[in-house]
């Protein structure tokens, strides 16, 4: 399904596919929402996602929703370089004039992209942070990777970011292992945005938090997104999160996009049977 | 002659309910009418006649199955809202089209004044000025000052409705869509809102409003489009209908 109109974009993804296994001629036809499965019955290949295309405008917030195993996190991990996609291209508006496919760059260039252009917030703080070094140290690590060299400037930046994310100054030199879940996620966000990336990828960043803590984290994300005008790709199984943060939403099932549209349209007038089920489940 | 701002032609909305065995429910069918620049068009009709659905289709929350919604933008270009892509609709929502829903769905931890100021700030208005403009509107709508810095999730329906109105009016849209903007207000506040909307209209804002109270509607509307079970029942000049 074609999601995106032409025009300026911060991120453009075309035909992204990722599968685990040898693959065969039947894989694509035998998997997907109509087939109701992601594993090819002939060769056992798992088609985690296929044919995923979308544009994200500069400063825009796009949501990806779907049940566990729908492929939404795979999309993020491919974009962040944690997984190597099987097919497709991805372009960042801020890299190579938007003409460089970030899936095929050298590993050195890939690092550059991660250090300067992309930020990622993982579901588990364990993945995004080094829990044993201090909160400030985590941010410094990221700044050093982006070639910040002056210690005083690094410290100032870390402090500003942590304060914006409402992490008390007194905790800056303590390791996140001693923080609550909500505070760990706030440190992760501070780290992800430290280098002023053009696109931030957020993977279920509030899933493990209780509702009141969730609200606080979402509020800070919104505030920072508005202030910095960063584009965000928000993966969540929680339609409430998407309603709050995202202007547009993509719905995935069994590795495919089944529906895409304005978030209010997806929630108020869902078209696909799966989206109707998803929306009716939360309103029930 | 005043230019047409929005031309609705043969607009049809059907809901295809997959969970109910593919049952189809008609929202509205074959609706046509024009809205001139600066005009207030009222939508009237019994509950379930398709008024709110029509507003949502214009705003883009509902997708239509047939018909066109030709909208004249500020630069004179014409966009068919029925088929426009998401980014075009979003751009129009930021700059030209605002919608006051019947119920506000506020973010949990955003203060009333910030919530209402957001669209303005997104338009590039300086934060202090945005808050100032909202404060003026909150005062006019008699929203108690001690609520301004509180969370609207905790407000009564009428208080939320006023936040919602201030938010939409302050962004100075060219087209304002109103879904029962006074339903949760007492008669005196209803009058205030009618005055406020009349002022906006005299400034040239085009409006399409659903209002249950037909006396209020007749005071604002230049024209009333009457729906009955999803069909156009009657369209004409408001005063002619009421007198």
3 state SS of A172: coil
A77-118: per-residue pLDDT in tens? 999 999 999 999 999 999 988 889 999 999 999 999 999 999
Hey, where are the domains in chain A? 130-196
Q: What percent of chain B has pLDDT over 90?
A: 81
Alpha carbons B36 and B2: distance in angstroms, whole number: 6
Q: What angle do CA A240, A251, A60 make, to 5 degrees?
A: 70
Lowest mean pLDDT of A51-65, A148-162, A270-284, name the range: A270-284
* B19: chain A residues, CB-CB within 8 Å: 273, 276-277, 280
3 state SS of A262: strand
Nearest residue in B to A57, CA atom = B87
A220-236: per-residue pLDDT in tens? 898 888 888 899 999 99
Report in angstroms the alpha-carbon separations of B26 from A230, B13, B22: 41, 6, 13
Token code pair at residue A167: 């992490």
Whether residue B224 contacts residue B205, with contact meaning beta carbons closer than 8 Å, is answered with: no
Alpha carbons B212 and A217: distance in angstroms, whole number: 39
B112-171: per-residue pLDDT in tens? 999 999 999 988 899 999 999 999 999 999 999 999 999 998 999 999 999 999 999 999
Rounded to the nearest 10 degrees, how much is the dihedral formed by the CA atoms of A202, A78, A260, A67? -70
CB contact under 8 A, A268 and B61: yes
Does B154 contact A at CB distance below 8 Å?
no
Task: Return the bridge partners of A14, or none.
Answer: A89
Sequence-separated (6 or more) residues with CB below 8 Å from residue B95: B74, B123
List alpha helices for chain B, DSSP H: 51-59, 86-95, 112-122, 127-140, 157-170, 187-202, 214-220, 238-242
Alpha carbons B146 and B135: distance in angstroms, whole number: 12
Rounded to the nearest 10 degrees, how much is the dihedral formed by the CA atoms of A212, A218, A219, A223? 170
Question: Chain A: nearest CA to B53, how far in angstroms?
Answer: 10
CB contact under 8 A, A215 and B60: no
ipTM: 0.91
CB contact under 8 A, A5 and B122: no
Alpha carbons B243 and B238: distance in angstroms, whole number: 9
* A260: chain B residues, CB-CB within 8 Å: 86
Using a CB–CB cut-off of 8 Å, the residues of A that contact B are: 4-5, 7, 57, 60, 215-216, 218-219, 222, 226, 243-244, 247-248, 260-262, 264-265, 268-269, 271-273, 276-277, 280
CB contact under 8 A, B107 and A280: no
- Other C-beta atoms within 10 Å of A107: how many? 8
């Amino acid at each position: 399904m074609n999601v995106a109109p032409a025009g300026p974009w911060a991120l453009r993804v075309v035909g992204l596919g990722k599968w685990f296994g040898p693959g065969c001629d039947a894989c694509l036809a035998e998997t997907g929402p109509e087939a109701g499965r992601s594993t090819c019955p002939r060769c056992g290949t798992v088609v985690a996602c296929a044919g995923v295309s979308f544009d994200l405008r500069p400063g825009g917030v796009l949501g990806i929703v779907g049940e566990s195993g729908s492929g939404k996190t795979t999309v993020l991990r491919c974009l962040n370089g944690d997984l190597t996609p099987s097919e497709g291209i991805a372009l960042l508006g801020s890299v190579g004039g938007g003409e460089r496919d970030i899936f095929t760059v050298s590993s050195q260039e890939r690092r550059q992209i991660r250090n300067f252009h992309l930020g990622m917030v993982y579901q588990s703080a364990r993945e995004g942070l080094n829990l044993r070094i201090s909160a400030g140290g985590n941010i410094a690590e990221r700044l050093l990777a982006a070639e910040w060299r002056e210690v005083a400037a690094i410290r100032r930046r870390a402090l500003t970011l942590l304060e914006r994310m409402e992490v008390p100054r007194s905790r800056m030199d303590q390791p996140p292992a001693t923080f609550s879940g909500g505070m760990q996620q706030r440190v992760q966000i501070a780290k992800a945005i430290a280098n002023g990336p053009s696109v931030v990828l957020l993977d279920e960043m509030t899933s493990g938090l209780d509702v009141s803590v969730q609200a606080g984290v979402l509020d800070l994300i919104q505030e920072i997104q508005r202030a910095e005008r960063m584009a965000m790709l928000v993966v969540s199984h929680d339609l409430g999160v998407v309603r709050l943060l995202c202007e547009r939403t993509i719905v995935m099932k069994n590795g495919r996009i089944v529906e895409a549209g304005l978030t209010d349209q997806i929630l108020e007038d869902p078209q696909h049977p799966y989206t109707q089920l998803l929306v009716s489940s939360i309103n029930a | 002659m005043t230019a047409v701002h929005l031309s609705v032609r043969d607009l049809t909305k059907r809901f295809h309910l997959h969970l109910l065995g593919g049952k189809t429910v008609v929202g509205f069918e074959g609706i046509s009418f024009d809205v001139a620049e600066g005009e207030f068009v009222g939508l009237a009709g019994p509950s379930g006649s398709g008024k709110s659905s029509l507003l949502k289709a214009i705003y883009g929350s509902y997708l239509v199955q047939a018909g066109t919604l030709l909208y004249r933008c500020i630069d004179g270009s014409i966009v068919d809202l029925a088929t426009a892509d998401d980014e075009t609709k979003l751009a129009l929502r930021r700059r030209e089209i605002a919608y006051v829903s019947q119920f506000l769905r506020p973010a949990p931890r955003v203060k009333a004044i910030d919530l209402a100021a957001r669209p303005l700030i997104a338009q590039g208005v300086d934060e202090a000025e945005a808050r100032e403009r909202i404060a003026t509107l909150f005062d006019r709508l008699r929203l108690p000052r001690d609520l301004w810095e509180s969370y609207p999730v905790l407000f009564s329906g009428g208080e939320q409705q006023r936040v919602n109105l201030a938010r939409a009016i302050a962004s100075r849209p060219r087209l304002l869509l109103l879904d029962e903007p006074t339903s949760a207000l007492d008669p005196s506040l209803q009058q205030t809102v009618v005055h406020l909307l009349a002022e906006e209209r005299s400034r040239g804002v085009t409006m399409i409003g659903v209002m249950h109270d037909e006396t209020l509607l007749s005071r604002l509307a230049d024209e009333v489009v009457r729906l009955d079970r999803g069909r156009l029942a009657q369209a004409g000049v408001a005063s002619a209908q009421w007198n």
